[in-house]
């Protein structure tokens, strides 16, 4: 299991102990929102840990914690990471599915990352610039993987509009689109993982997933910030293309 990081603490003169936090001065021309974001980054133990352990971002720990619980990134698995930039989820997948073949006696998996922008290479992962919504994307994915996928995962979020309701609707639409690709490329028994924002508009999306997977869980991993409305849907046991559009599962 992943160990939970702890904040650095120190003594204060006669006042017991408290967390030592980095404060950022408001420089000329810097917005308060930028100052607060920078302070949060500098004081975030997951950010510091990601730097120490060589991950490209704190989001890597979200997929680590989800996989520690649900065990879908197994040696030999074929994985598709949608919207993979900057690459932290791919890094985790490469290690866990044994994409580099470093675990002797274990099956060797494959990791395919897709994004609209160029992503710096990751050893053990095959990364392509591709809009997964484009026609024929599913065929390209299966061609690059050498067969159907065992896992389709997404940490994508639509560009923020500044309006929570609008952002919620946008990300639900994005998850629904990602799920449609998953239906086209997943092996029966496969897993779909995606980020959503709490808000209520995801009822139909959840029903769609329950029709097509044997189990659907909604999880907020410890690495998700406490003040964030994000959660992750983990759908396991894909029923296969032949049940698409069937009535809701009990």
Q: CA nearest 114: which of 167, 206, 182?
A: 182
Top pLDDT among 244 and 82 is at: 82
How far does Cα 104 stand from its chain's mean position? 27
Kindly list the catalytic residues. Answer: 195
- At residue 2's C-alpha, the angle toward residues 115 and 75, to 5°, is 60
Binding residues: 87, 89, 115, 131, 155
User: 28 is written with which tokens?
Assistant: 């000329």
Identify the structural domains of the chain with CATH numbers, from first to last. Answer: 29-56 (no CATH), 59-243 (3.40.50.150)
Confidence of residue 105 (pLDDT cuts 50, 70, 90): very high
Residue with tokens 């420089």: 27
Q: Which residues pair with 193 in a beta bridge?
A: 153, 234
Binding residues for S-adenosyl-L-methionine: 87, 89, 115, 131, 155
User: 238 is written with which tokens?
Assistant: 């894909």
> Do residues 202 and 210 lie in contact, with contact meaning Cβ atoms separated by under 8 Å?
no
pLDDT at 9 over 60: no
Confidence of residue 202 (pLDDT cuts 50, 70, 90): confident
């Amino acid at each position: 299991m992943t160990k939970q990081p702890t904040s650095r603490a120190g003594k204060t003169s006669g006042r017991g102990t408290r967390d030592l936090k980095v404060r950022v001065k408001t420089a000329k021309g810097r917005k308060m929102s930028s100052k607060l974001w920078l302070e949060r980054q500098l004081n975030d133990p997951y950010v510091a840990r990601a730097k120490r352990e060589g991950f490209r971002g704190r989001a890597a720990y979200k997929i680590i914690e989800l996989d520690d619980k649900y065990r879908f990134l197994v040696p030999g698995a074929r994985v598709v990471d949608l919207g993979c930039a900057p690459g932290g989820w791919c890094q985790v997948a490469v290690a866990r599915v044994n994409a580099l073949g470093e675990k002797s006696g274990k099956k060797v998996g494959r990791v395919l990352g897709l994004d609209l922008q160029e992503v710096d290479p990751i050893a053990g992962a095959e990364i392509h610039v591709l809009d997964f919504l484009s026609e024929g994307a599913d065929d390209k994915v299966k061609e690059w993987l050498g067969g159907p996928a065992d896992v389709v995962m997404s940490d994508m979020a639509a560009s923020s509009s500044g309006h929570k309701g609008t952002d919620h609707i946008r990300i639900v639409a994005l998850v629904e689109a990602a799920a449609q690709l998953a239906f086209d490329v997943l092996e029966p028994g496969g897993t779909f993982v995606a980020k959503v924002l709490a808000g209520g508009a995801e009822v139909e999306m959840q029903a769609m997933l329950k029709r097509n997977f044997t189990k659907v869980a909604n999880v907020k991993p410890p690495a998700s910030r406490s003040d964030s409305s994000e959660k992750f849907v983990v759908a396991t046991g894909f029923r296969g293309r032949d049940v698409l559009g069937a009535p809701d599962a009990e």
